Amino acid sequence: MVGLKEWTEPDVIFERNILLGPDDDRALELAENIRKQLVDTYKLLHPLMEVRERQAFGDQSSFAENDVAREGDEGVGLDEDSE
């Protein structure tokens, strides 16, 4: 239910009926499984997305700002009161 398929496809209707149906436990289980699949996909593809964005945008990449932030963090640590 993330917009990859049309609402009229049988598998989408099947999931919709579970998610919006009377069995809350079954709906929660399906939602948790979908969430896990999405998180796993994100973790798998995030490095590729970062590489492609850096190639496409170079210094204008949103990840370029992270490089600057990381370089400045080398000497940063928690003080004794914060630990």
Cβ-Cβ contacts under 8 Å for 26 (sequence gap 6 or more)? 18
More confident residue, 55 or 72: 55
Crossing angle of helices 62-72/24-57, nearest 10°?
90
Q: Per-residue pLDDT for 71 more than 90?
A: no
DSSP one-letter code for 8 = T
Domains of the chain, residue spans: 10-67
> pLDDT per residue over 1-54, tens digit each?
467 889 899 999 999 999 999 999 999 999 999 999 999 999 999 999 999 999
Number of helices (H) and strands (E), helices first, in the chain? 3, 0
